[in-house]
Chains A and B, each alone.
Chain A
């Protein structure tokens, strides 16, 4: 069966072209400015640091998310490090409480700038749950209630 990978799409090429176009326009007046200098202003996430170092996150967050998405859905892997719920937990705006409700919210700022459109928020919550989501915090399995007929069979 095909591996899901709908991000490697035509749309990406189009947006790539759009970004190059935009970059060309923007680059002319501030040619000497280092790449990235005119990034949109971003609210800083909660905590000390991101789940990977910042530069890696900037460039590779979509890959982490895609990988995590397939791991979680198809294989049932529930690690929290690259979980989308985790991003929302730390990056929800102080002002709006959301990662994507306004153009300045964390997951919107760069995307608006780079003309990236993601459909995630049609389904995924943009705000952390009122009570901390269980899955967003690395909870040990022992902390959970039992099911009616659990068994060691699960652990291979």
Chain B
């Protein structure tokens, strides 16, 4: 890479790409383009502005009241898979971001029905084991797979105690533009991050409320005023596999 070429480059430019881009013309007036354009810090009371990063002042959480969760109702599942473009198939190779689990206490015979999804742990085993750092936790506690660097090794699927993750086993077409998904990468519930980031609730919660079940409550666990924070403070709630000390973001009531 010649010195003269480098002079045209901005600091952020990697030298080795200059040659390849040469045919695009060297006249580029590289005028220090701001990479994060016009960050307007809305001081809106609700949520954050598009330009503002997720902050650890928020910890998104979900509280599921199994007493209210309808036995046989799977509206949350349908809504999730519609929103995220997951085909409604349940073969062993098909991804499921959320599923209804029926449980029966072996001693008492008590039955419950509840949705199981990524529990958005504070200490997620999937993040610990991921070799490339594709499995990650956002500042606001949402656990995601960065599918740009996921290599599809599936170690996270081995490590997840909740079986929350799926591999995309076949090529996909016609994805929802807001929810890119593709073959060979691992994926799981994102708390509908695309919706949360525009201050909406996850699709499952919306569907549950629309049915009048109101079994799923979504909100900021770090905000003492939020309904979810007040509820978990007042009532006994359960973490699934609490013995693993993962401090899950999803909690259950009634089991």
Contact = CB atoms under 8 A, between A and B. Distances in A.
* Direct A–B contact present (CB less than 8 angstroms): yes
Contacts of B219: 147-151
A52 B139 CA distance: 30
Contacts of A8: 14, 16
B44 A149 contact: no
A16 B16 contact: yes
A82 B177 contact: no
Interface in A142-156: 142, 144-156
Interface residues of A, number: 75
A24 B51 CA distance: 43
Interface size class of B (residues with CB under 8 A): 35 or more
B29 interface: yes
A124 to B, nearest CB: 5
Which secondary structure dominates chain A's binding surface? loop
A125 B29 contact: no
Contacts of B45: 152, 155
B198 interface: yes
Interface stretch (B31-39, B115-123, B240-248): B31-39
A105 to B, nearest CB: 16
Contacts of B42: 140-141, 155
A81 B33 CA distance: 12
B25 A150 contact: no
Interface of B: 12-14, 16-17, 19-31, 33, 35-39, 42-55, 57-58, 132-134, 136, 138-140, 144, 146-149, 171-172, 174-178, 180-183, 185, 193-194, 196-201, 205, 209, 217-220, 222-223, 225-229
Interface of A: 1-2, 4, 6, 8, 12-13, 15-16, 19-20, 23, 34-36, 38-39, 51-53, 55-56, 58-60, 62-64, 67, 69, 71, 73-82, 85, 88, 110, 114, 116, 122-125, 127-129, 133-136, 138-142, 144-156
